[in-house]
């Protein structure tokens, strides 16, 4: 079974080599590797050229953004399954594709397989990596309302003919076209999605998807157009989820405000040299609370 790996990139000189190495080091060898570059102006093309013997197709030309490039890769892919591995991401280990292929062979009814993701960031807020576990297939229709960008592309293997049945990614959206595409698949109960309990890839938490405001704007626009979610039952569920989100947000804001006030007290205490013992106890308490708040934030999709 041939598997197509598609990497879309533009000006990715800082990360793409690690991504390429994670593909060509796979123990599974029936891989078609496609790289679609948006006419990079840095050294991305030169880095890709170093590994040309391992790359089936390399196209470098101006395109219509991320999803236009992904669609371009889909059109030339010949594998039975397709995976999109972004240029700043990489497979978690060398056996990922082999293990995925074995899982698919054991479940021939599967049209889309998805697994866990290792999340990393160079942000000053999120300094620790963690593992993101997606919901089960039965939970997806409801979870997609709550979580927004529910799936991480690198953790998914799509049967190629899905794009013939459901269409390509809409190029009308700059950030959430994959979310819109997933609303199509959840509306077809005949299509079998399976969760594979394995870490598939390492995801860099940053880039265009980090624009929360723009992401939510597109996400809600898409939700409001999906026929399935306009029924009375789904409208009620959407309202309940929205209310729950507001409560969680207010709880988080309150915790931040408490930390801010305690930080102010700490600063005032530092000015008084006679409060050293108090400061040690207070600082430990503040540090512990800060870790709890950041941990709860990391657990949010």
- pLDDT tier for residue 247 given thresholds of 50, 70 and 90: confident
Share of the chain above pLDDT 90, in %: 53
Question: Which whole number is the average pLDDT over 61-73?
Answer: 94
Has residue 144 got a pLDDT over 90? no
> pLDDT tens for residues 177-188?
999 999 999 999
Share of the chain above pLDDT 70, in %: 82
Has residue 237 got a pLDDT over 50? yes
Question: Which whole number is the average pLDDT over 286-292?
Answer: 60
Q: Quick one: 51 exposed, middle or buried, by C-beta within 10 A (0-12, 13-18, 19+)?
A: middle
What is the model's pTM?
0.81
The answer to which of 9-18, 134-143, 149-158, 225-234 has the lowest mean pLDDT is 149-158
Q: Quick one: 44 exposed, middle or buried, by C-beta within 10 A (0-12, 13-18, 19+)?
A: buried
Candidates 67, 102, 101, 106; CA nearest to 81 is 101
Measured between alpha carbons, how far is 46 from 60 in angstroms, rounded to an integer? 11
Q: Quick one: 77 exposed, middle or buried, by C-beta within 10 A (0-12, 13-18, 19+)?
A: buried
> pLDDT tens for residues 27-66?
999 999 999 999 999 999 999 999 999 999 999 999 888 9
Residue 129: per-residue pLDDT: 82
- pLDDT tier for residue 259 given thresholds of 50, 70 and 90: confident
Measured between alpha carbons, how far is 66 from 215 in angstroms, rounded to an integer? 14
Question: Which whole number is the average pLDDT over 72-96?
Answer: 97
Query: Is the Cβ–Cβ distance between 7 and 86 less than 8 Å?
Result: yes
Residue 132 φ then ψ, to 5°: -100, 125
- pLDDT tier for residue 125 given thresholds of 50, 70 and 90: very low
The answer to which of 16-20, 160-164, 285-289 has the lowest mean pLDDT is 285-289
- Does residue 219 or residue 159 have the better pLDDT? 159
Has residue 273 got a pLDDT over 70? no
Has residue 300 got a pLDDT over 80? no
Has residue 301 got a pLDDT over 50? no
Q: Name, in order, each residue with C-beta under 8 angstroms of 221's C-beta and a sequence gap of 6 or more.
A: none
- pLDDT tier for residue 256 given thresholds of 50, 70 and 90: confident
What average pLDDT is seen over the chain? 86
The sign one gets for the Cα dihedral 148, 228, 169, 143 is positive
């Amino acid at each position: 079974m041939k598997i197509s790996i598609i990497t879309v990139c533009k000006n990715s000189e800082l990360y793409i080599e690690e991504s390429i190495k994670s593909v060509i080091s796979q123990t599974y060898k029936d891989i078609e590797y496609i790289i679609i570059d948006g006419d990079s102006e840095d050294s991305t093309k030169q880095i890709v050229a170093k590994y040309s013997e391992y790359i089936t197709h390399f196209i470098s030309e101006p395109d219509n953004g991320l999803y236009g490039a992904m669609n371009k890769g889909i059109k030339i892919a010949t594998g039975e399954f397709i995976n999109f591995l972004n240029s700043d991401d990489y497979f978690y280990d060398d056996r990922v594709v082999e293990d995925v292929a074995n899982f698919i062979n054991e479940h021939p009814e599967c049209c889309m397989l998805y697994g866990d993701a290792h999340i990393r960031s160079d942000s000053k807020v999120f300094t620790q990596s963690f593992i993101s576990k997606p919901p089960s297939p039965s939970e997806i229709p409801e979870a997609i309302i709550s979580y927004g960008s529910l799936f991480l592309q690198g953790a998914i293997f799509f049967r190629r003919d899905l794009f013939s049945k459901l269409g390509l990614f809409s190029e009308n959206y700059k950030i959430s076209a994959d979310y819109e595409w997933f609303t199509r698949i959840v509306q077809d109960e005949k299509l079998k999605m399976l969760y594979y309990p394995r870490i598939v890839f390492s995801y860099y938490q940053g880039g265009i998807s980090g624009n929360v405001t723009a992401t939510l704007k597109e996400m809600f626009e898409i939700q409001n157009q999906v026929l399935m979610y306009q029924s009375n039952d789904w409208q009620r569920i959407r309202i309940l989820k929205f209310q729950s989100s507001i409560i969680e947000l207010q709880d988080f804001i309150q915790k931040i405000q408490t930390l801010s006030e305690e930080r102010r007290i700490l600063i005032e205490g530092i000015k008084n040299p006679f409060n050293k013992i108090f400061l040690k106890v207070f600082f430990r308490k503040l540090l512990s609370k800060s870790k709890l708040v950041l941990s709860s934030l990391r657990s949010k999709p």
